[in-house]
């Protein structure tokens, strides 16, 4: 029987590929090789050339051109194999809902986890669809195994239908995208494409040519530990210092209070003891010039905290993560025009929408490879309430096939 994109997706989500930003290695977790090695095996089985995985868990393969034209550009298709470190991706149990009718979706593994229509307005667009969720004890893994499944299905279709003419297509699967390291060792020269697309978005129609510009920030408070029985005027409790700092961060520039093009500061990891406490934060702004302003806000907050704790020693370290890809993509309109046309032909009613996040394409575009982002059919990424429309996943497969056609014309 013909294997569907759903079949592939259900196979891939059973493999735990959660990344970890604390290891300092690439890949950050060796278990990402489990999926990477399987993908190489499957790519070879369907006849792709140069299918391999390197020591850093980057998978690359080639679908050779079958067109008589010799001057066609080489196109890349990319997705990442890792899942978010924020929620477990181990022992994922798929929950499949046939012919979804628009109600809230309670998840069978945890009665307290419910996908609510009130929080998921796009569910209304999926009435009648087949929906896949986890059982509520883990994330689903649609981010980004839906993208992986869509690419694998589309490429297999093109191999089995040689009457569809296309140029050379390169396939790439990356590790560690979820911890901002997806392109750390990505060899653009070896990949050898003129343009590329990440398949890492949401519902069909939504295309992405701009992302946040992003920096990461760590604030560390150093204290002084001593037995609490003799601590008066001696102990400096860094937990209290970092708590004061957090309480003073502006509430109106947080992810939970912003939308659209609004920037934010996002505390997301907190570690502490009396002697030392630290908090990791994300700076996000569509305007790269706005990132120093977010840094200034944190510097001001540190200064205010020191007024409350004059003996506090507080340090801040800021590092660049990625930049908005809009400017460089606007300089290469053909990569956007082809995607728009392919989406229309697939019946997806395309529109451009900013990503309140980032993709591997953000960094790749900055590195010189124009790489906009394409939908997968998933929603609620990084959470136990993640869900995927199978109908939308199939539309993604159709879009990739049309993309191959459009570039060959």
Residues forming the active site? 82, 177
Q: What is the dihedral of CA 248, 249, 251, 255, to 10 degrees?
A: -150
Q: How far is CA 297 from the centre of its chain?
A: 27
Cα 123 from Cα 295, distance rounded (Å):
37
Spatial separation of the C-alpha atoms in residues 167 and 157, rounded to whole Å: 15
Tokens 């908090």 appear where?
Answer: 279
Rounded distance between C-alpha atoms, residue 384 and residue 119, angstroms: 14
Radius of gyration of the chain (CA): 23
Q: Locate 75 and state its tokens.
A: 């196109």
Q: Are strands 169-174 and 59-63 parallel, antiparallel or unpaired?
A: antiparallel
Residue with tokens 């451009």: 352
* 301 vs 240: CA distance, rounded Å: 14
Give helix then strand counts, H and E, for the chain: 10, 18
Q: Would you call 348 helix, strand, or coil by DSSP?
A: coil
Distance, CA of 168 to chain centre: 26
Q: Cα–Cα distance between 335 and 342 in angstroms, integer?
A: 11
Burial class of residue 38 in the structure, from the number of CB atoms within 10 Å of its CB (0-12 exposed, 13-18 middle, 19+ buried): middle
CA distance 133 to 123: 13
Question: What's the CA gap between 54 and 364, in Å, rounded?
Answer: 18
220 in helix, strand or coil? strand
- Closest residue by Cα to residue 355 from 347, 365, 346, 345: 365
Please give the Cα distance from 9 to 152 (Å, whole number): 10
Residue 14 makes CB contacts below 8 A (sequence gap 6+) with: 92
């Amino acid at each position: 029987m013909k294997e569907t994109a759903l079949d592939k997706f259900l196979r891939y989500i059973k493999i735990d590929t959660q990344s970890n930003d604390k290891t300092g290695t690439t890949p950050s977790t060796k278990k990402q090789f489990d999926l990477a090695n399987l993908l190489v095996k499957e790519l070879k089985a369907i006849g792709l050339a140069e299918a391999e995985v390197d020591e850093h868990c980057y998978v690359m393969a080639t679908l050779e051109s079958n067109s008589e034209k010799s001057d066609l550009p080489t196109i890349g298709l990319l997705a990442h194999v890792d899942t978010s470190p924020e929620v477990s991706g181990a022992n994922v149990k798929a929950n499949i809902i046939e012919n979804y009718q628009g109600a809230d979706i309670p998840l069978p593994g945890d009665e307290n986890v419910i996908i609510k229509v009130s929080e998921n307005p796009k569910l209304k667009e999926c009435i009648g669809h087949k929906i896949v969720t986890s059982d509520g004890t883990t994330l689903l893994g649609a981010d980004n195994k839906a993208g992986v499944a869509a690419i694998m299905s589309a490429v297999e279709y093109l191999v089995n239908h040689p009457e569809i003419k296309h140029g050379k297509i390169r396939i790439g699967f990356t590790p560690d995208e979820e911890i901002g390291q997806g392109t750390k060792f990505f060899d653009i020269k070896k990949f050898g494409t003129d343009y590329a697309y990440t398949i890492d978005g949401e519902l069909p129609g939504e295309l992405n040519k701009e992302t946040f510009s992003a920096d990461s920030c760590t604030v560390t408070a150093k204290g002084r530990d001593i037995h609490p029985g003799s601590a008066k005027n001696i102990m400096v409790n860094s937990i209290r210092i970092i708590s004061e700092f957090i309480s003073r961060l502006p509430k109106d520039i947080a992810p939970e209070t912003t939308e659209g093009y609004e920037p934010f500061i996002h505390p997301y990891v907190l570690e502490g003891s009396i002697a030392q406490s630290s908090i990791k934060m994300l700076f996000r702004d569509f305007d790269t010039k706005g990132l120093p302003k977010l840094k200034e806000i944190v510097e001001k907050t540190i200064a205010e905290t020191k007024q409350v704790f004059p003996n506090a020693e507080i340090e801040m370290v800021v590092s660049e993560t990625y930049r908005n890809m809009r400017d460089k993509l606007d300089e290469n309109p053909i990569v956007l025009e082809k995607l728009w046309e392919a989406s229309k032909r697939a019946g997806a009613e395309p529109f451009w929408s900013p990503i309140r996040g980032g993709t591997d394409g953000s960094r790749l575009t900055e590195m010189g490879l124009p790489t906009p982002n394409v939908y997968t059919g998933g929603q609620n990424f990084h959470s136990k309430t993640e869900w995927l429309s199978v109908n939308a996943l199939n539309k993604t497969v159709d879009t990739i096939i049309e993309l191959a056609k459009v570039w060959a014309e």
